Structure 1
Amino acid sequence: MFDRKTPATLVSSLALAAVLAVTPAFAQDTTQPPTSETNSAVSESVQDEATTQVDERRAALLNDATRALEETENALNALDDGDTEAAVDALAIATGRLQSVVARDPGLALAPVDVQLLRRDLVSDVETIEAAREVIEDLVSDGRLQEARPLMRDFASEIVIETSNLPLATYPDAILRATAQIDAGEIDAARQTLSTALSTVVITEEVIALPVLRAQLLIDAAEEALEGDAGAAETDATETAETEPLEPSEYVEAARVQLQMAEALGYGEEGDFDELYDNLDELDEKIDLADDTGGIFDRIGDSFIRLKQRLFD
């Protein structure tokens, strides 16, 4: 058990366990949780989901808005170089692009211009996470916020999709104001206006809790394994696999552990996971009795949808 009076010890322990990096969408999922054999079976699917989510958001980026942002930066650079003509030309392009965005969708408040994937993955077990959480909660309760801060920074297992957006209520006006300031010879004021406009880019975030995602994928793997068992009698007895397939019950237990990790990490409140735990218990019983699973997997899928709505909507 960690000594809450020596949080630096816990910082070191968590630092060794945590993987915190800005990861391109095509990076590999190298996480090795305690149930690594089962989790490794869904690591590729985890990465595929992250890639799909990012690709969907990149498809929604507005090229005209992106170009307007680029030309704003070009104008600022031109002013730094003393080239006011190039700055005005760049701002004219930016203005035209923004007008095009507004004309196509007058009610649009935020124009997406960039997407980044941030991944934080705490590789640990439920007991260690619960112990760390207790230390953090004690520090916060004692008002020792700066000691709790480095622990909370890495206390997550998630993919965060960050989207940068131009605020259309203010950004176009700033570009026009900077243009007028350049025409009036107020170069320093124009530079300040453009710098301020660039700093008002709005970042929105969408969080995907990795333990919840892994749990869902593990249940999918359990369903596939059960379907494989059902068709096993039709398989030629002389055929052998290079590795023994995992049992459906192993996938279910690994999913349960992932949900426990999500709960320990604070994704959700008390009772949010009860429905899924009950579903998994029912699935375990059906697997043990070799009973027809009926519509249990559909119910589990619906439970995951409701859980995600409670956690993130």
Structure 2
Amino acid sequence: MDVSTGFIFNFSDQAKRHEQNPPSIPTLAIAQYMCLFRNTRLIIDWHNFGYSILALKLGDAHPIVKISKIYEQFCARSAAAHFTVTNAMAKVLKNSFGVNALPLHDRPPKHFQPLSQNQRSSFLSRLPETAEYAKELQAGTRKLIVSATSWTPDEDFSLLLNALVIYSTATTSNPALPKILAIITGKGPQKDHYLSQIARLNEEGKLSNIDIKTAWLSMEDYASLLGAADLGISLHTSSSGVDLPMKVVDMFGTGLPVLGWSKFEAWPELVTEDVNGKGFGSVEELSDLLAKVFGSDEKLARLREGALLECERRWDEEWDPVAGRLLGLVG
């Protein structure tokens, strides 16, 4: 996960350098050290806080977590300007770090675009993970959901897995509910653990009418997969409470509506409830949403319409009035 992004600007010749820094230690300190010997100023683009990510493993009270927070506060006060991925994060920088920041919300890259019906049909028939289900997916008797995960503790995949078990039970009492193909993309340390759970649930017959596939795709195929899906699922729980999952931004870029974990402060800045997605806070809520949305073509179509409107907002609309103006690149 990106903790922050540093922009080092030489205002004498407008040369610039862009650095990603997971983790913020020691990159922020190195960037500031460089600024001492050059005619440069440092701008930090905050996407999360390094200390909050450390706290996931060590706990809030751990000395290293406290030191990391002090370090980031110190580095923040030495920078010339700040961008944040949410308004909520800008408030944290103001109240806890003592610096002012300009909110600059993420937007999807250009290659994340909606698919036409012909493009969707061709892609579903071509991709190995969807090919055998292509006819059902095109007919609507099976729905495609997609979730991108790092298979780490801050994204609890058991939420989705248990919700699918409940949905599977619901399909036996309500045959009108469509089958589901769930494709999970990404790599990470807990992947094998959850693959074992999926195999066990299949052996026990608890995933009838549900098929779960994992995939590691090229960026182009991942963008097409989102464009071909019926619903995106976000399990991002936010270590700081004020960051946002880029995966949801990418989903909106293809016009894909989202069901996501919503129990953190910044969620409403990204998803508008009942317009382009829905939030959940438990397994039961997620399974209920799957049944309601897939049980009503009207509800799914309404969310799709809202997501398609959201996909029209691209980087120029966010960048130019905020970063572009600060850097003197636009009038």
Coarse TM-score class (shorter-chain normalised): under 0.3
Higher relative contact order structure (alpha carbons within 8 Å, sequence separation ≥ 6): 1
Instruction: Considering fraction of residues, name the structure with more helix.
Output: 1
What is the TM-score with the length of structure 1 in the denominator?
0.21
| Larger Rg, first or second structure (1 or 2) | 1
What is the TM-score with the length of structure 2 in the denominator?
0.20
